[in-house]
Amino acid sequence: MPATIEGSIKNSFSLPLSEIKKIIKDFHSEMCRGISGKKSSLKMISTYVNKPTGKERGKFLALDLGGTNFRILEIELKGDGKILPGKEKKFVLAKHHISGEGRKLFDFISGCIKKFCSEQGIKTYEQRKIGFTFSFPVRQTGIAKGVLLHWTKDFSASGVVGQDVVRLMNEALIRNGLRNIKIAALVNDTVGTLAAAAYQDQDCDVGVIIGTGTNACYQGKVKRMIINIEWGGFNKLRRTYYDELLDKSSNNSGQQMLEKMVSGMYLGEIARLAIQDLIKKQRIFKGQRNGFNLAKSFKSEHLSEVETDNSVNLSGINIILKKMGLKSSTLQERKTIKVICHAVSERGARISAAVLAAVITKIDPALCRRHTVAVDGSVYAKHPGFANHMKSALREIFGKRTGRLNLVLAKDGSGIGGAIIASLAASGNNQ
Ligand code: BGC
């Protein structure tokens, strides 16, 4: 393959510092517009909760819904920044739950809660308050009240958009005979992640998720509460031809533009579209039948596997290509695949760093203080090189001051944080 094609693909996905600086500027102006209620691609949602102090105590339940896995957990807060993990169970949502009737989705969840309580010996005749981590854009009007603005991450259950999801969940609990179990707080996963980390480290003031979807929140000063940015919707980024193609064929075209360039739901698909383009142009795999023309056939996990292959012959990539239906490939072709995958994921990491830098400088323009940033999500935690690319872009942006930023992997913060916020709501200390 001529170096120019490889070079031009790399170029189209590259994000130099000059562009990062422009993103930061545009992000700031969208944040300001969103906060002041003007039209903006950033929703800047008030959450009616402040970060915990670490002194909260007690046993609390949480439901964590944000992807195809749904979790129920109970944790104990010891009051000295310590959390005792307790009972936990994971349930898998089927396609018909996420894209069928909303009422059935909520009935299924409340059925799972009933099962969890009976298996774990949790008495359902006693009053129990639950934190509901619901990781979708919800316009909150109180700590336990909020209307779903639109679905993301391939969810499309009917009858939920425009409705108060706390009411829908509480009604489903009643239908299932769980009258004493009530949602005490509605929590975005980024807010849960921030809360879980802040319970142990008071320097934590930003929560980020880079997984199937992506988003961030921060402890606001002007509005004294945590603000859920919904950064996945940011739409001031330069898009390639492949991003446009992906957006057009998605079920939420025109929405979640940043999410479509960063999160695990889409990274594999962007790479697939770029690879398919080269195949169509007869640059690689000449004349061979292959599965790259099938939408969503190349997953973000494949992208991770491609990037971890450091063998001389790129034999791991060969195995993946065989799975994609290709009988044979040359070393040069496998190198090209690696270059494309790398370019796509590195761009995702650099975009994430740019918008994180924008959030930090919104809170603390000259980066005078220490900030712990709690990050979770499969892409950040597992995609090879992603976290490092993000950190090196942050170094480019902040130079020596980067030392004041501490990015910590806050595993399972969304569920734990849900329980912590339920404790704040139960004690009336949320604000
Ligand atoms: C949702 C956010 C969520 C993020 C990470 C996005 O699709 O809109 O609310 O925080 O995914 O789960």
Domains and CATH numbers, the chain: 1-46+201-411 (3.40.367.20), 48-187 (3.30.420.40)
Supply the residue whose CA is at minimum distance from atom 9 of ligand 1. 136
Among 51, 153, 182, 260, the one annotated catalytic: 153
Q: Please give the torsion angle defined by the CA atoms of residues 389, 392, 397 and 399, in that order, rounded to the nearest 10 degrees.
A: 170
Which secondary structure element, helix H or strand E, spans residue 30, and what is its range? helix 17-35
Separation between Cα atoms, residue 330 and residue 344, nearest integer Å? 22
Query: For residue 122, what pLDDT is reported?
Result: 87
Among 189, 243, 247, 309, the one annotated catalytic: 189
Residues near 339 by Cβ (< 8 Å), separated by ≥ 6?
A: 6, 9, 10
Query: Is 50 exceeded by the pLDDT of residue 265?
Result: yes
Asked if 265 contacts 68 with a C-beta cutoff of 8 angstroms, the reply is no
Query: For residue 40, what pLDDT is reported?
Result: 98
pLDDT digits (tens, 9 = 90+) for 309-348: 999 999 999 999 999 999 999 999 999 999 999 999 999 9
Long-range contacts of 277-286 (CB under 8 A, 24+ apart): 277/241, 277/242, 278/1, 278/5, 278/9, 278/336, 278/340, 281/5, 283/1, 283/2, 283/5, 283/336, 284/1, 284/329, 284/333, 284/336, 284/337, 285/326, 285/329, 285/333
Separation between Cα atoms, residue 418 and residue 49, nearest integer Å? 12
With the most atoms of ligand 1 within 8 angstroms of its CB, the residue from 186, 189, 193, 257 to mutate is 189
pLDDT digits (tens, 9 = 90+) for 45-79: 999 999 999 999 999 999 999 887 899 999 999 99
In the predicted model, what is the mean pLDDT of residues 106-133? 92
Asked if 374 contacts 207 with a C-beta cutoff of 8 angstroms, the reply is yes
Asked if 212 contacts 264 with a C-beta cutoff of 8 angstroms, the reply is yes
The Cβ of residue 31 has, within 10 Å, a number of other Cβ atoms equal to 22
Query: Is 90 exceeded by the pLDDT of residue 382?
Result: yes
Residues near 147 by Cβ (< 8 Å), separated by ≥ 6?
A: 138, 139, 141, 162, 163, 164, 165
164 is known as an active-site residue: no
The Cβ of residue 125 has, within 10 Å, a number of other Cβ atoms equal to 8
Asked if 13 contacts 347 with a C-beta cutoff of 8 angstroms, the reply is yes
Q: Can you tell me whether residue 269 is helix, strand or coil?
A: helix
How much distance in Å is there from the Cα of 149 to the middle of ligand 1?
A: 12
Asked if 357 contacts 397 with a C-beta cutoff of 8 angstroms, the reply is yes
Reference 370, options 205, 196, 200; nearest CA is: 205
Structural tokens at position 203: 């320097």
Q: What is the pTM of this model?
A: 0.96
Query: For residue 4, what pLDDT is reported?
Result: 64
Query: Is 60 exceeded by the pLDDT of residue 244?
Result: yes
Q: What percent of the chain has pLDDT over 70?
A: 99
Indicate the length of the chain as a whole number. 431
Which secondary structure element, helix H or strand E, spans residue 376, and what is its range? strand 371-376
Query: For residue 236, what pLDDT is reported?
Result: 98
Which residues are paired to 214 by β-bridges? 210
Which residues are paired to 85 by β-bridges? 75
Query: For residue 8, what pLDDT is reported?
Result: 85
How much distance in Å is there from the Cα of 191 to the middle of ligand 1?
A: 11
Separation between Cα atoms, residue 179 and residue 171, nearest integer Å? 9
Query: Is 80 exceeded by the pLDDT of residue 270?
Result: yes
Tally of CA atoms within 13 A in the half-sphere of 65 that contains its CB:
24
Separation between Cα atoms, residue 151 and residue 126, nearest integer Å? 33
Query: Is 60 exceeded by the pLDDT of residue 2?
Result: no
| Confidence grade of residue 1 (pLDDT, cut at 50, 70, 90) | very low
Tally of CA atoms within 13 A in the half-sphere of 63 that contains its CB:
28
Query: For residue 426, what pLDDT is reported?
Result: 85
Separation between Cα atoms, residue 38 and residue 53, nearest integer Å? 33
Q: Please give the mean pLDDT across all residues of the chain.
A: 94
Query: For residue 179, what pLDDT is reported?
Result: 93
How much distance in Å is there from the Cα of 332 to the middle of ligand 1?
A: 38
Reference 242, options 211, 277, 292, 210; nearest CA is: 277
How much distance in Å is there from the Cα of 132 to the middle of ligand 1?
A: 14
| Confidence grade of residue 187 (pLDDT, cut at 50, 70, 90) | very high
Higher pLDDT, 349 or 123: 349
Asked if 139 contacts 149 with a C-beta cutoff of 8 angstroms, the reply is yes
364 is known as an active-site residue: no
User: b/e string for 131-144 if b means 16 or more Cβ within 10 A?
Assistant: bbbbbbbbbbeebb
Query: Is 70 exceeded by the pLDDT of residue 300?
Result: yes
Reference 266, options 309, 227, 296; nearest CA is: 296
Supply the residue whose CA is at minimum distance from atom 11 of ligand 1. 213
Ligand 1 first shell, C-beta below 6 A: 66, 135-137, 152-153, 188-190, 209, 211, 213-215, 230, 232, 259
Reference 24, options 267, 350, 257, 242; nearest CA is: 350
Higher pLDDT, 253 or 430: 253
